[in-house]
Structure 1
């Protein structure tokens, strides 16, 4: 079950208008791949944002002790990051990114891991902007307009939501990865098949033996980058994509989503849950960890 809900721009605007007892706080989680040479934080301050938005830095609020990017933070790191943004436990959070649905699913999932009561994923900023809803284009020097809070999450659902490298190795070596699980990888097909390089030159391309490709753009609208609105539409799109790629997802099996660094894996995780799948977890270290910790025997090139 998803840790957050999708919300359309129209429903978001209506929520802001009618909610009087609690704050509705937009959360900008825009992040760009390093090879794009774009500064998401600077854009938040100088270009545009949804009014009253705060900026959640997925590069900063993470497991700082891990050598791998974007790994789930511990409780103290998460609470400190949320406190610095002035977030309160009873706030209704609506997460978005200015790309569409790229880094925001990762942020919404992270916040949901720590059981924030009300988390939505805006579906999506492109449609919000296209509809002419309010934007703040004034320049600012702050990533939040709220005073620092004392945010306290007490638990993390990571043990239920996250798959470790050791778990993945065991699944591969026992053969359970194919017989008992669906494993889907959000990276581009040429990277998955080992015919194109990874963005990080020190990492070989290829895939985890037993995994199947599910390139994340395939689960979104090609123009708006939005998820289909209904469960039925999402399920149909997934079925068409996997059929084209030559496999099917067994809904009776638990599913593990992954990608390059744990960001776009949450896009396909969102799509799978939106389509009705109940048991979907994330391999957080994803291909960056797998390729750096595994020998050649655990890196597949050809499709199984």
Structure 2
């Protein structure tokens, strides 16, 4: 059996010794870019590698790009091979933020044509709560070759988003918190507000109190209410920098609403051009 959206802690525990399974720790903090790596060294799931959001899963920021530009896919594919990921591997990614950062690598792997990747539901917090093993030992990695099959249709550029909003062929969902979406506060980016025409669904709405994702049927009902008569393929997700937007995309896929896309540059890229329309309030 393969996993392509979420995997439970119990299911992963049963496969810890499976050499065909690769676990990757994606913990990160926007307030302290090295905290995730520090926490990894203090303790992580057995055999887990570490992927750094800025250094591994993003490329350099430029004057025209957002805060977490898409990585060089060729370089990422090389890293995946160095981490022991082959095209046959079942990959499991996790973090300590409900999947907010792990979702980025989940989406990147799918964009590279690798569907056998799942986010650990509940992350390392639920794993530890269940009493499952944590280690400080670094994994013994056998490097291999990962061959990418890039799916360029999985994301939209700023220009494509602007054009398709204008002809009303897409609906845009913003995963940021309501107060940031409304432009009441903006702790990170220099301009507050949202893309005119976007609707708000904070990624936290996908989670139950346990930190696990809501049941698929519940997620499906909520997203169907949000998108109305739109097909999933007409839905584009965004956030501040294209990271937590992947959480809403993952939630839709888990709910069986397949084919939505990512505006990878998101708000931090959108505001680089003052001619792009923005709005505040609801």
TM-score (norm 1): 0.82
Q: Which residue of 2 aligns with 1:123?
A: 121
Distance 2:181 2:236 in 1: 16
| 3-state SS of paired residue (2:88) | coil
Q: Which residue of 2 aligns with 1:135?
A: 134
| 2:233 equivalent to 1:233 | no
RMSD of equivalent CA atoms:
2.3
Gaps in structure 1 of 5+ consecutive residues = none
Gaps in structure 2 of 5+ consecutive residues = none
Is 189-198 or 115-124 further displaced after alignment? 115-124
Inter-CA distance 117–163: structure 2 relative to 1 (3 Å threshold): closer
| 2:203 equivalent to 1:210 | no
The CA deviation at 1:226 is 1.4
Q: Which residue of 2 aligns with 1:154?
A: 148
Is 184-193 or 125-134 further displaced after alignment? 125-134
Q: Which residue of 2 aligns with 1:52?
A: 47
Inter-CA distance 8–289: structure 2 relative to 1 (3 Å threshold): same
Matches within 5 A, 1:1-80: 4-16=4-16, 19=18, 22-34=19-31, 39-45=35-41, 47-62=42-57, 64-67=59-62, 68-80=66-78
TM-score (norm 2): 0.88
The CA deviation at 1:171 is 2.2
The CA deviation at 1:260 is 0.3
| 3-state SS of paired residue (1:293) | coil
Matches within 5 A, 1:73-112: 73-112=71-110
The CA deviation at 1:66 is 4.7
Distance 1:63 1:5 in 2: 22
Distance 1:268 1:10 in 2: 24
